[in-house]
Amino acid sequence: MIKVLLLPGDGIGPEVIAQAKKVLLHLRSEYNLKIELEEALIGGSAYDDCKNPLPDTTLDLAKSSDAILLGAVGGPKYDNVGRKLRPENGLLRIRAELDLFANLRPAILYKSLAGASSLKPELVADLDIMIVRELTGGIYFGEPRGIRTLENGVRQGFNTLIYDENEVTRIAHVAFRIAQKRNSKLCSVDKANVLEVSELWREVVESVHNNYKDVFLSHMYVDNAAMQLVREPNQFDVVLTGNMFGDILSDAAAMLTGSIGMLPSASLDSNDKGMYEPIHGSAPDIAGKNIANPLATILSIAMMLRYSLEELDLADKVEQAVQQVIANGLRTTDIADKHSAIGTNEMGDAVIDALT
């Protein structure tokens, strides 16, 4: 039996996870997917319950599961909570505790939604980029960090951007392997004109490249990469980058598709155990209104089936069902454009109908 842990989290998280749960149960009853579902608290909802955004019970369940499906964490209610207890810290800790170092963030344009992109349609036609972001290192986790008071009484905030060669090597392997399964083009993004850590990053990526000579490797400074993403996004196939650059570039890439409510993501360890989540976040402003788009979460199930559960046919089926629903003109508010919108629940039901 495959154990899947559901972590609804905060904001629209519970609503979109409820739809994903329906889909998983449908795959179990109709397609004989052998899964067992559990549910636990994370983020603000866990903080409300026990003053800890990642309770031990949740972490233990996560460790003993084969895959995790997360909704989203965070909300304005927690703005004044101390850093260690913030909902976001629950997410950062589960990533670190499970060693989920490889974050895959596809940015795909759905043809019929091209009008929603902030760029001209001809620039984003057939857009299909995979951002591979290092997720458990870099400045997010580097020590020392803190806020201190200097001798002259001035306060100073500091963080450390640090990568060792093993961390770069393992994420580079992941990126090259993904590139091999796509169009064999990898662009590694850094700031090697300024930072020593990037100089090492580049050197290590070059040496890992020796194992993947069929992949075309290029390097780009992060400022240029931000510009190129909005200038000519189709030049990219797979983008490899560190934790903070990846955080920023993946939001920009998501916006290019015009459908941030449609994009899933995967965070994997070295055995392909993974946590899967929509990239849209908790969207507290629309929570509880049955208007959130559940498709990114449902597409996260497809990634889970593909990367962690080796159910490639079922992964295709779920993706086709989502395509079908979109082709049929069904839309939630965020992607409605000229269509009339349906609710979160109805969208979940429509995907199940398309799967049947």
Binding footprint of ligand IPM on the chain (CB under 6 A): 74, 88, 91-92, 247
Q: Which of 60, 223, 285, 337 is catalytic?
A: 223
Task: Choose between 250 and 332: whose C-beta lies nearer to ligand IPM.
Answer: 250
Q: How many CA atoms lie within 13 A of 33 on its CB side?
A: 27
Q: Which of 47, 247, 273, 307 is catalytic?
A: 247
Residues in the chain: 356
Q: Are strands 274-278 and 67-72 parallel, antiparallel or unpaired?
A: parallel
Task: Choose between 74 and 258: whose C-beta lies nearer to Mg ion.
Answer: 74
Min CB(92)–ligand IPM separation in Å: 6
Task: Choose between 35 and 255: whose C-beta lies nearer to Mg ion.
Answer: 255
- 223: annotated active-site residue: yes
190 binds, among ligand IPM, Mg ion, none (CB under 5 to 8 A by kind): none
Written as six digits, the tokens of 257 are 């598709």
Min CB(279)–Mg ion separation in Å: 8
Q: Give the interface segment with Mg ion, choosing from 23-31, 152-160, 174-182, 239-247 (CB under 5 A).
A: 239-247
For position 247 contacting Mg ion by CB under 5 A, the verdict is yes
Q: Which of 66, 99, 128, 251 is catalytic?
A: 251
Q: Which of 140, 163, 276, 307 is catalytic?
A: 140
90 binds, among Mg ion, ligand IPM, none (CB under 5 to 8 A by kind): none
- 191: annotated active-site residue: yes
For position 134 contacting Mg ion by CB under 5 A, the verdict is no
- 99: annotated active-site residue: no
Min CB(134)–ligand IPM separation in Å: 11
- 251: annotated active-site residue: yes
336 binds, among ligand IPM, Mg ion, none (CB under 5 to 8 A by kind): none
What is the distance in angstroms between the CA of the first residue and the CA of the last residue of the chain?
Answer: 23
Min CB(317)–Mg ion separation in Å: 29
88 binds, among Mg ion, ligand IPM, none (CB under 5 to 8 A by kind): ligand IPM
70 binds, among ligand IPM, Mg ion, none (CB under 5 to 8 A by kind): none
Q: Which of 21, 190, 191, 212 is catalytic?
A: 191
Cβ partners under 8 Å of residue 327, min gap 6: 112
Task: Choose between 77 and 219: whose C-beta lies nearer to ligand IPM.
Answer: 77
- 349: annotated active-site residue: no
Q: For residues 302 and 263, give the distance between their C-alpha atoms in angstroms, rounded to a whole number.
A: 11
Min CB(336)–ligand IPM separation in Å: 25
Outline where 32-183 has alpha helix (H). 44-50, 56-64, 87-97, 121-124, 165-181
Q: Give the interface segment with Mg ion, choosing from 165-173, 240-248, 270-278, 333-341 (CB under 5 A).
A: 240-248
Min CB(313)–ligand IPM separation in Å: 29
353 binds, among ligand IPM, Mg ion, none (CB under 5 to 8 A by kind): none
Number of residues that bind Mg ion (CB under 5 A): 1
Catalytic residues: 140, 191, 223, 247, 251
Binding residues for Mg ion (CB under 5 A): 247
